[in-house]
Structure 1
Amino acid sequence: MNLNLSEEQQFIQQTARDFAEKELVGNAATLDAGQGQDEFLANLKKLADLGFMGLNVDAEYGGTEAGTVAFSLAISSIARGCASTAVTVSVTNMVAEVIQSVASAEQKQNYLPKICSGEYLAAGFCLTESGAGSDPSGMKTTALRDGDSWVLNGSKAYITSAEYAGVFVVWAVTDKDAPRGKGISCFLVEREVAGLTVGPAEEKMGQKGSATNPVYFDDCRIPASALMGTLNRGYQVALGELAGGRIGIGSLALGLGEAALDYARDYAKERQQFGQSIANFQGLQWMLADAYTEMEAARLLLMQAAFTKESGGDFGKQASMAKLFASEAANRACYTGLQILGGNGYNREYPLERLARDVRITSIYEGTSEIQRMIISRSVFS
């Protein structure tokens, strides 16, 4: 692949970086303290206006048509300013892509412009359940056909942006007698439909600005036209989109790791001990050298996965490798940065404490590191 970014990719990366610095960094700590939600939501609309909610969506639906490489660059840049904003943008793009991939022409025309324009501030990906996380084929939510409608019953867990999502892609069992994973379909469900309830937000360790909620379906009646794609073939759709989502989360982790290291580097230049800047000590220099090297390796893995996806190739293994390495390396980078700050790193006055909490989830959601190793090993031994 050509590692030189196109003019469009450079522009998108720089625009995201500028927005993160001007609009996101200042509100990140406020969000972490449980405030600043209005500004957070306003920034989602601004990002939509800039084209960041449909980066890989066709222009006819209001998308940017920038591709997966640009998407990865954008998420990393946004994450440097605010992880909560970055995960919202990543998941919303993932929902937009699944709609573009398998929805009917009418569904695309109805929902994609609303997502891309920010009329819907976000979109939700309803796959995980309390008993079906790493193994979504074990889901219990059902959709039963009743005349010209489908009736949903069940619940979903840990749904990003559920409080302010305008539409959800929901997976449910439509043939309970089918083999495991074969009788699942996906549906487009609007936020205000009767029978859909969003539960209270989870009290999380990090990324507190991004709402994460359970979603309940109690005799939730939706039209027959809400079925998206082929009946009983929704599980395959979910697996494909999760692979793409891993590029987003790996990119998010990369941005957090870079932000932590850059802050620690600049701090080390100013911090004086033993009569000199601590940046002069070789032990600290090597800590940063190793961490920056891992971040660069993560970037290259992500670019390879993004380029393969953008080129129409089989990118599943590459996405898992990139997500695994980037998330684990970013966790190490944030703790390295915290260690360099010493006691100040443990103090909420400095951003390293928050970054260390924000990055932790990246090795869990969109498939844990252990699940990524399973996917990679299957490919190795196939």
Structure 2
Amino acid sequence: MDFAFNEIQTLFQNAARDFAEREVAPLVEEAEAKEEIPLQLFTKLGELGYLCPGYPEEYGGGGMGKIGECILYEELGKVSSGICSAIMVQGGLATKMIAAHGTEAQKQKYLAAACRGTKIAAYGLTEPNAGSDAANIQTKATRKDGGYIINGSKIYITNGQVCDFVTIAAVTDKSKGSKGISTIVVDADTPGFSRNKMRKLGNHSSPTSELYFDDCRVPAENLIGEEGQGFKYMLESLTGARISHSARSIGLAQAALEKTVAYAKERVQFGQPIGKNQGVSFRLARLAAEIEAARWLLYRVAWLFDQGQDCRKEAAMTKLYSAEVAVQMAEAAMRIHAGAGYLAESVVQRYYRDAILYPITEGTSEIQQVIIARELGL
């Protein structure tokens, strides 16, 4: 049993931290104000081989598995939750099904380009009437003339406003229920494809969109894997995505903790730093323990994933726990900073606005508890 990163992982952690602090941090304020992702980060990360660290090196990835991904997302999450979100989708849900079930031609056209950062990817699952009930999607892909005609819409799509292609779940045989759902790649320049930017409370530097498909014609070779297997592929991909999501949550929580501890040492009231008051120090001590516990759970589950073990239950656990810890830490940061944290120019209010999304995306906390309960046989 090893409780430390190996040499390569440690070097990558240092490199990812340096990149986040040197290349990402200076861009965050403007990106948040403009509600845009700095697109140059995709190519910069791609050139270094950091953009999709979990994928094989032959496609431009880092070959470091899920642990490598989590290392990157934790470091990016400390600096910017929104930017981390955009990068996380690029190396996760948007491309995972291509990596796992795509043809070699699809991998060369889409996966390799995503790893290099020359194409930006998005994943389209959620619809206005299909959120947690993912099997209820209405977007249709009808077979015609050797291809598919796609009609429907998607909502809350990360990278949707800037993507070059989107991997979507669409109904190819309604009579089969969830077994009639397939996964198809749609290029953004396909006639009939359009998008509309959505404004959000937080994660402003992550562009989010509604996507519309109006008689979008795509070739049959854009089908990923087998027809009717899309729902299965989606569930497989969500397991890995929930682990990655946890890394971002822990990154934000750690940043909020460090910021708040520093403030508690500097802020003096009644003749002493507020951190000397047990009401403050005990709360931070408890949260520091929670964050550390969440981190150990995360990397344990990432290790299980890399070993090829079934970790659906554990992925739900780490997603649930880290998301809730991040919210608790962000709220504590707001309370302890008080008025100073509430100011628009304070990073603390951004931590709070960003963190409260975490129990919702990649499956709500309630859905995670449903999964865990089922895995327990309840």
So what's the TM-score if we normalise by structure 2?
Answer: 0.97
Greater than 4 Å deviation, 4+ residue runs: none
Equivalent AA in structure 2 for residue 82 of structure 1: S
Per-residue deviation at 1:381?
A: 1.6
Higher mean C-alpha deviation, range 307-316 or range 267-276 = 267-276
Higher mean C-alpha deviation, range 145-154 or range 47-56 = 47-56
Helix, strand or coil for the counterpart of 2:164? strand
Measure, in 2, the Cα distance between the counterparts of 1:93 and 1:291: 30
Helix, strand or coil for the counterpart of 1:349? coil
Equivalent AA in structure 1 for residue 237 of structure 2: E
Measure, in 2, the Cα distance between the counterparts of 1:315 and 1:30: 39
Measure, in 2, the Cα distance between the counterparts of 1:154 and 1:370: 27
Per-residue deviation at 1:52?
A: 2.4
Measure, in 2, the Cα distance between the counterparts of 1:81 and 1:297: 21
Measure, in 1, the Cα distance between the counterparts of 2:228 and 2:51: 29
Name the counterpart of 1:96: 95
Per-residue deviation at 1:31?
A: 2.4
Instruction: Kindly report which structure 2 residues correspond to 1:213-292, keeping only aligned pairs within 5 A, or say none.
Output: 213-292=209-288
Equivalent AA in structure 1 for residue 109 of structure 2: N
Measure, in 1, the Cα distance between the counterparts of 2:346 and 2:58: 44
Picking from 56, 59, 67, the partner of 2:57 is 59
Name the counterpart of 1:110: 109
Higher mean C-alpha deviation, range 130-139 or range 7-16 = 7-16
Per-residue deviation at 1:26?
A: 3.0
Measure, in 1, the Cα distance between the counterparts of 2:5 and 2:156: 35
Per-residue deviation at 1:11?
A: 1.7
1:17 paired with 2:31, answer: no
Contact 1:56/1:97 (<8 A) preserved = no
Contact 1:272/1:278 (<8 A) preserved = yes
Equivalent AA in structure 2 for residue 294 of structure 1: E
Picking from 129, 138, 163, the partner of 1:131 is 129
Contact 1:44/1:85 (<8 A) preserved = no
Any idea what the Cα deviations from partners look like across 1:90-136, whole Å, max 9, x if unmatched? 1111123221100011111111221111101x211111111011011
Any idea what the Cα deviations from partners look like across 1:168-199, whole Å, max 9, x if unmatched? 11111111111x21101101111111111112
Name the counterpart of 1:202: 198
Equivalent AA in structure 1 for residue 13 of structure 2: Q
Picking from 77, 80, 89, the partner of 2:78 is 80
Per-residue deviation at 1:236?
A: 0.1
Measure, in 2, the Cα distance between the counterparts of 1:241 and 1:375: 15
Measure, in 1, the Cα distance between the counterparts of 2:276 and 2:76: 31
Measure, in 1, the Cα distance between the counterparts of 2:193 and 2:18: 38
Name the counterpart of 1:4: 4
Helix, strand or coil for the counterpart of 1:367? coil
Contact 1:130/1:156 (<8 A) preserved = yes
Helix, strand or coil for the counterpart of 2:168? strand
Name the counterpart of 2:180: 183
Helix, strand or coil for the counterpart of 2:228? coil
Contact 2:153/2:211 (<8 A) preserved = yes
Q: Structure 1: which 5+ residue stretches go unaligned? A: none
Measure, in 1, the Cα distance between the counterparts of 2:241 and 2:359: 13
Measure, in 2, the Cα distance between the counterparts of 1:29 and 1:288: 27
Contact 1:57/1:96 (<8 A) preserved = no
Per-residue deviation at 1:330?
A: 0.6
Helix, strand or coil for the counterpart of 2:179? coil
Helix, strand or coil for the counterpart of 1:134? coil
Name the counterpart of 2:26: 26
Equivalent AA in structure 2 for residue 111 of structure 1: Y
Picking from 44, 47, 51, the partner of 1:46 is 44
Contact 1:54/1:96 (<8 A) preserved = no
Instruction: Kindly report which structure 2 residues correspond to 1:358-377, keeping only aligned pairs within 5 A, or say none.
Output: 358-377=354-373
Per-residue deviation at 1:285?
A: 1.1
Helix, strand or coil for the counterpart of 2:235? helix
Measure, in 1, the Cα distance between the counterparts of 2:364 and 2:257: 24
Helix, strand or coil for the counterpart of 1:189? strand
Equivalent AA in structure 1 for residue 152 of structure 2: G
Measure, in 2, the Cα distance between the counterparts of 1:365 and 1:327: 10
Equivalent AA in structure 2 for residue 329 of structure 1: V
Higher mean C-alpha deviation, range 307-316 or range 2-11 = 2-11
Helix, strand or coil for the counterpart of 1:231? coil
Measure, in 2, the Cα distance between the counterparts of 1:41 and 1:106: 26
Contact 1:185/1:230 (<8 A) preserved = yes
Per-residue deviation at 1:366?
A: 0.5
Equivalent AA in structure 2 for residue 127 of structure 1: L
Measure, in 1, the Cα distance between the counterparts of 2:42 and 2:217: 30
Name the counterpart of 1:165: 163
Contact 2:147/2:220 (<8 A) preserved = yes
Measure, in 1, the Cα distance between the counterparts of 2:163 and 2:7: 32
Per-residue deviation at 1:349?
A: 2.5
Contact 2:73/2:244 (<8 A) preserved = yes
Per-residue deviation at 1:51?
A: 1.8
Contact 2:95/2:167 (<8 A) preserved = no
Helix, strand or coil for the counterpart of 1:296? helix
Contact 2:147/2:219 (<8 A) preserved = yes
Provide the aligned length of Structure 1 versus Structure 2. 377
Helix, strand or coil for the counterpart of 2:357? helix
Measure, in 2, the Cα distance between the counterparts of 1:243 and 1:28: 29
Helix, strand or coil for the counterpart of 2:54? coil
